[in-house]
Chains A and B, each alone.
Chain A
Amino acid sequence: MAKVMIVDDAAFMRMVIKDILTKNGHEVVAEASDGTESVEKYPELKPDLVFMDVVMPTMEGTEALKKIMDMDSEAKVIMCSSIGQQSVVKEAIDIGAQDFIVKPFDADKVMEVVNRVV
């Protein structure tokens, strides 16, 4: 069982991911609606895994990823991207993202990535 933080500006997407994770026995310890919030929450909660949306207001996913990696070089971050975000995702991989998933995703895909990363 992994402790997971979900970062996405859409409550709907957070709900979808959260449902998938909790149904599969993982615990969602935090939800953040933008990058800033995720950077604030990360150090106190130290989640095993972070689902990070790419496009968000106030702080983009890659920037938040950078800040999180600075705090914890072992951080495991999975980027949630869409088709057409290839370059951002690559940037994220360079920064240190462990993996990425592409919307729309189904439970199998999410769990596959989680199982590989955790």
Chain B
Amino acid sequence: MEMSEYKQVFQAESDEHLQQLNDSLLKLEQYHEDLEQINIMFRSAHTLKGMASTMGFSSIAELTHEMENLMDGIRNKQIKLDDSIIDILFECLDTIESLVETIDSEDDVDISHLKNNLNSIIENGGSGQETQNESEQVEKETEDEETTIKTGFELNIDFSDEEIQQIQDANQNGLSVIGAKITLDDSCMLKSARSSLVLKKISEYGTIIKTIPSMDDLDEENFETEFNVVFSTENNQDTIKEEVQKISEIQNVTLSVISLENKEPSEPSCETDNKNEPKTETQSSNTQEQTQSGQDTSKRSSEMKNVQSVRIDIDRLDNMMNLVGELIINKIRINQLTSDYDIKDLDDTLADLDRLTNDIQTEVMESRMVPMDHIFSRFPRMVRDLSKSEGKKIDLNIEGKDIELDRTILDEIGDPLVHLLRNSVDHGIEEPEKRRETGKSETGHIRLSASRQRNSILIEVEDDGKGMNPDKLRETAVKKGLMSQSEVDRMSNEEAMNLIFTPGFSGAEKVTDVSGRGVGMDAVKAKIEELGGSVKTESVEVEGTKIQLQLPLTIAIIQSILAKVSDETYVIPLTNVVRNVSIKESDIKTIKGEEAILLRGEVLPIVRLHDVLNTSKNNQQQDNDELIVVIVERMGKKVGLIVDDLIGKQEVMIKTLDNKLLKNTKGFAGATILGNGNVALILDISTLI
């Protein structure tokens, strides 16, 4: 998962916690003793701290840490909550909120004064207690008279008479007494907890006689990274060592057997320990100043944002999309009736309805959008693994991760993209030696990019591999019996490139285990076209191959042009339409057996929809010699469609022809219901061109 995605979740969840904190603090302001709110605030601050520190947002982590301490103090009645503290807490929340909001920006919000304020409150409430604890420990240290014993790793351990007795008893019972020196990782944070995990492990194998520093000091974390344990055991040293080393954050474990022969005359321990002296805390006077700092808490509550996110089942969104579609159909129907009956009074209301349905359509569409990263993020790993297994060096460059696409489409294009990338790795990029021979860098490059076009998304998979040779493709097509020689001869190089999309065509000479078997490029093409998109190939031998996928932003509702052919109405998706022209029958020339017109210096093939759709010609239309041509474009290829009449522009909802009977119908992308209740077929431009 990418950082940006983490950030999004982080921000959304932080906002929820901030909201919670604000709510609780408002309640606390009313009633200072509300323990429940204190607990909630403590938890929220704690959770925020954990999240922020994981993301490395130190300012938020530091502030929430202090807040957590403060709330803990209040909870334990060490700190008395008053209005000034509440003001500071509000200020904290606002600061955290702005920190969360501006998480990407470099300029840091200064939190030092807030931290100092919180600190001084905490220390005012809690310092007395601590001093007491520490002086207690100093007393404990001098309690026993001690005996020093030398252990194998040159550590002088002072044993009291009682401890010596324990060691002697253990030895008599056939147990060995072992001294262990344990060093924790420098990065270890809860050293005391870590030490207790070690002690627990050791006591599973024996009896602990003594720890250095004392158990209390271990508890209070009065040690650096190293501590010692003396214990008696019947187990093997090595087993214990192994077990202790299994605990994480342990840097080193040294064990040695302690025997009383090493006993030396006892000396009073004369180490003076300065760090145990009670700390003299300078009492800060900050609390006084803070009284003025926050006066308008009531204003804050009105400013509180309520940004929350909810997970919604994709089926729900599909349903909503369907309903929006129905709504649009009804809107169009009302529009039609209004104009049929010429009801002027409805004009304003209809304009409003128009705007509203547009807005709701946009909203629903937007809510279905998911960034490309959703599927892109798994590709780097895939390409890395593939190239490694084939001994190739490949650099995958991904662009346009943030481009958003309808969730349904996104879910469907994952497999086709995997196939295209595999093709590039498998058949595109050459082995390093081969690349060097052709004067290329050893590392091949694959570029996967997504970009937003006007009303569609363009996804490109481009590699700088060996490319394709159109002649070889022609040859293969003939060899495999997919085309006749004369057919392929007539093809332009560009058309020949598209042979790879023909079912049964596989460009690979040898079948590898990743690509080149079963599902081929034809499956990719079929899938993309099923989604209302199109595929195009460009390839130059030796230089590389580029495959472009053009996809609609959404699949359910499209802008379209309604055209009449004979007495039927047909829908032409507006994304395909370039413009309309009107020509004369005599303008049509026949080039290589196909009809075409010359338009602005461009040869434009002509398709008579009458012929394609097998409808009877409308003779009236024929008479006036004027022909209406809708010029459509598909992946840079233009064709003129001759229609009888143009009705107008309209948005239509696609109802797919996915029942058993109509599933394989060619030429139509679906059907729609028009405003007058009639059904119209949507032309599938890609199969017409």
Q: Which residues of A contact B (CB under 8 A)?
A: 9-13, 15-16, 19, 55-57, 80-86, 89-90, 93-94, 99-105, 109, 112-113, 116
Contacts and interface: CB of A to CB of B under 8 A. Distances in A.
A81 B248 contact: no
Contact of B193 (A90, A105, A109, A112): A90
Contacts of B219: 90
Contacts of A82: 46, 49-50, 53
Given A99-B248, A100-B190, A90 B51 contact: no
Contact of A15 (B6, B46, B69, B190): B6
Interface of B is mostly: helix
B43 interface: yes
Contact of B248 (A93, A94, A112): A112
Contacts of A15: 1, 6, 9
Nearest to B11: A12
A113 B190 contact: no
Interface of B: 1, 6, 9-10, 13, 40, 42-43, 46-47, 49-51, 53-56, 61, 65, 68-69, 189-190, 192-193, 196-197, 200, 219, 221, 246-248
In the complex, the 7 A-B pairs of residues with the closest C-beta atoms, listed nearest first = A104-B53, A89-B193, A103-B50, A102-B189, A104-B54, A55-B46, A12-B13
B564 to A, nearest CB: 54
Nearest to B58: A104
28 contacts: A9-B43, A10-B50, A11-B13, A12-B9, A12-B51, A16-B54, A55-B43, A55-B47, A82-B50, A83-B65, A83-B189, A84-B68, A86-B193, A89-B190, A90-B192, A90-B219, A93-B196, A94-B196, A99-B197, A99-B248, A100-B190, A100-B197, A101-B248, A102-B190, A103-B53, A104-B61, A116-B246, A116-B248
Given A12-B9, A13-B47, 11 more contacts: A11-B13, A12-B6, A12-B10, A55-B46, A83-B189, A84-B65, A89-B193, A93-B193, A93-B200, A104-B54, A116-B247
A54 to B, nearest CB: 9
Given A89-B193, A94-B200, A99-B197, A13 B246 contact: no
Contacts of A9: 43, 47
B381 to A, nearest CB: 9
Contacts of B65: 83-84
Contact of A16 (B6, B192, B247): B6
Contacts of B247: 99, 116
B51 A93 contact: no
Contact of B9 (A11, A86, A109): A11
A104 B50 contact: yes
Nearest to B201: A93
A10 B49 contact: no
Nearest to A11: B13
A82 to B, nearest CB: 6
A17 B47 CA distance: 14
Contacts of A10: 13, 47, 50-51
